[in-house]
Structure 1
Amino acid sequence: MGKLKIVEDVNWEIEVVYADKDRYTRMAIWEDISKYHTGDVSLLVGGDFYCIMAREEKKGGKAFHFTPAANDMASFMMSNDLIDLGFNGPAFTWTNKKDIRSQIFSRLDRFLISSSILDSFQGLKVKHLTRLASDHCPILCSFIGEVKMVYSHWIKF
């Protein structure tokens, strides 16, 4: 776990995840993050979650089914008030790199953030970058400082 101080009164906890194939090992990761997370500090969790959360996150191979592992991750997200920001770029972050008939694509990599972050940082964006040599494509989370909406009481035509 790391800490990021953006400005004087804005602190985030940062977690990088490289989840295991084994559901119970992943559950231990979710439990550790929950245990060591300071509840009143915003949390940003990113990396390879090794979990598909929706039918749209998989192409090829066996049909998608919402698994107990996906339920574990959904519970982890709910208990820590984490949301998936979505993304720009390629839809899938992983491929098995097989021939065209056996190819499987999945979205295993993502960033999750505390919903409270969106209150101050509406400019937060996630981008899936081009896959080069790896079976995973890199993902980038970036933000444009505080974005405050300024409203005028004047109506102009």
Structure 2
Amino acid sequence: MDHDALFVGLVETKISSIHTREFKLFLGDKWDYFLYSAEGLSGGIMTCWRNDIASFIVKEANSQVVIGELSIAKNGTRCIATVYGNKNYFMRIYLRSSLEMIANIKNPAIIGGGFNYLLSQYDKKGGKKIIYSTGTHDMYSFISNCDFNEVGIVGPKFTWCNNKKGKAFIFERLDRCIINLAALKNIKLAAIKHLARLASNHCPIMLKIFSSGFGRN
């Protein structure tokens, strides 16, 4: 890993299965993983963590989120949720139900991934103006009622583009990271960095923790 990461969440993997030997060849023996399989060529969530300094116990897994407890040696436990939000509003009700479980825990919690929704017009550049849907209001409600906070961004703020040219080009911020109050108190300084797009029209997002008792990236 070029960014010295401790935990990685991958969404829309389109992977139905992977052999441990293949995974080790890709990331090495110091990494372990959990895979929620894709349905055909759609979806899929994989979480990866450094097994030499941390462990990850999955608490819930479905097509929209993998939730687990990440324990770092001599650095406590925090809840991590990797999200791949369905665009269908009725399916997103199940996602919110899963995430609300995290609101009741006292440990630091981080929720990140592809939410596939826009909170405001500032999350979009180009194309038509956004329509404030019921799903958008529900997510606003979840963030405020469950004491979650967005992490500030370093660099370009948009995470997705439609790869079209001219007036048809659209930028959107579909991927984000939010943390609960316990994590906010534990972290002295944190920021989200949007990395370069490679094989996807989405930017990978990286949570960078600069100086705290919370751990590494």
TM norm structure 1: 0.84
Q: Contact between 1:13 and 1:37, CA under 8 Å: does it hold in 2?
A: no
The separation in 2 between residues aligned to 1:6 and 1:81, in whole angstroms, is 24
Q: Give deviations 1:114-152, integer Å, cap 9, x for gaps.
A: 0221212122221011122211011001213427xxxxx
More divergent stretch after superposition (134-143 vs 59-68)? 59-68
The separation in 1 between residues aligned to 2:139 and 2:178, in whole angstroms, is 11
1:135 aligns with 2:196: no
Secondary structure at the residue paired with 1:101?
helix
Q: CA RMSD in A?
A: 1.9
Number of the residue aligned with 1:61: 127
Number of the residue aligned with 2:98: 32
The separation in 1 between residues aligned to 2:103 and 2:73, in whole angstroms, is 20
Secondary structure at the residue paired with 2:179?
strand
1:50 aligns with 2:148: no
Change (3 A) 1:6 1:79: farther
**1:63 aligned partner, one-letter code:** K
TM norm structure 2: 0.62
Higher relative contact order (CA 8 A, sep 6+): 1
Q: Contact between 1:90 and 1:130, CA under 8 Å: does it hold in 2?
A: no
Number of the residue aligned with 2:71: 5
Match of 1:18 among 84, 87, 108: 84
Match of 1:82 among 148, 156, 162: 148
Number of the residue aligned with 1:126: 192
- The total of aligned residue pairs comes to 147
Number of the residue aligned with 1:152: none
Number of the residue aligned with 1:150: none
Q: Contact between 1:123 and 1:145, CA under 8 Å: does it hold in 2?
A: yes
More divergent stretch after superposition (112-121 vs 32-41)? 32-41
Question: Shift of residue 33 of structure 1?
Answer: 1.8
Question: Shift of residue 36 of structure 1?
Answer: 5.6
Q: Contact between 2:108 and 2:186, CA under 8 Å: does it hold in 1?
A: no
Question: Shift of residue 24 of structure 1?
Answer: 1.7
- Unaligned 5+ residue runs, structure 1? 148-157
Question: Shift of residue 83 of structure 1?
Answer: 0.7
**2:186 aligned partner, one-letter code:** S
